[in-house]
C-alpha cells in the first residue's frame, strides 16, 4: 500500500512540475531579429554573424527560426517549453535544412531585458567533432514587429 501511495504522490509531483514547465514566458513571446550570433568551436575559435538575416518568432508553445541565405530561406520549427526560470527546451518539429535533427531537443538559456533577448546553447554530441565544429552558440536579438 505504501508503494501505491508513493507512486501516486510521485505522479502528482511530476504532473505539477510539468504544468509549471508548460507556462509560457510572456516576455519571450513575439518576434526577434538576431543582431549578433557567435559560434564557438571545439578548437577555441569563434565566428560572428551580424548580418541580421535570422529571425525568431516565439508563440505560446511554438518557435519558428528563419535565416535568409543567398540560396533562399531556411526555416526550422520547434515545440518549446519553459523548464525553469530563464531556460527553455526546444524540440525540433520540422526543418527545411536539418531534417536529421527533427525530434532532437536542446536546452537554451535566455534573458529578456526590455527589447533585447540573449540566448546561449551548448551543442552536445555523442560523436567526436572536428575542432572547427561549433559547440556553443550565443545570440543577441532585438524585438521586431511580426510579419
Mean pLDDT by 10 residues, the chain (147 residues): 33 35 81 97 90 97 95 96 95 94 95 97 72 84 95
Specify the pLDDT at position 16. 35
pTM: 0.78
Positive/negative CA dihedral, 126, 130, 135, 137: negative
Specify the pLDDT at position 42. 82
Specify the pLDDT at position 9. 29
Specify the pLDDT at position 147. 82
Specify the pLDDT at position 44. 83
Specify the pLDDT at position 116. 98
| Angstrom distance (rounded) from CA 75 to CA 17 | 31
Specify the pLDDT at position 36. 98
Task: Kindly list the structural domains of the chain, giving each domain's residue range(s) and its CATH number in brackets, ordered by start.
Answer: 24-144 (2.40.128.280)
Beta-carbon contacts of 147 under 8 Å, excluding residues fewer than 6 positions away, are 31
The three three-digit cell numbers of residue 29, written as one number: 513571446
The three three-digit cell numbers of residue 43, written as one number: 578548437
CA 52 from centroid of its chain's CA atoms: 18
| Angstrom distance (rounded) from CA 7 to CA 109 | 32
| Angstrom distance (rounded) from CA 80 to CA 74 | 19
Amino acid at each position: 500500500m505504501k508503494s501505491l501511495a508513493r507512486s501516486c504522490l510521485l505522479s502528482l509531483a511530476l504532473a505539477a512540475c510539468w504544468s509549471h514547465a508548460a507556462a509560457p514566458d510572456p516576455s519571450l513571446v513575439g518576434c526577434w531579429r538576431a543582431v549578433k550570433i557567435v559560434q564557438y568551436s571545439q578548437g577555441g575559435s569563434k565566428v560572428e554573424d551580424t548580418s541580421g538575416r535570422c529571425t525568431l518568432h516565439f508563440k505560446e508553445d511554438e518557435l519558428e527560426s528563419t535565416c535568409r541565405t543567398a540560396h533562399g530561406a531556411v526555416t526550422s520549427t520547434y515545440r518549446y517549453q519553459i523548464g525553469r526560470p530563464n531556460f527553455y527546451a526546444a524540440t525540433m518539429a520540422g526543418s527545411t535544412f536539418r531534417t536529421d535533427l527533427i525530434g532532437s531537443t536542446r536546452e537554451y538559456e535566455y534573458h529578456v531585458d526590455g527589447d533585447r533577448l540573449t540566448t546561449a546553447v551548448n551543442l552536445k554530441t555523442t560523436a567526436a567533432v572536428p575542432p572547427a565544429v561549433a559547440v556553443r552558440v550565443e545570440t543577441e536579438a532585438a524585438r521586431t514587429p511580426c510579419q
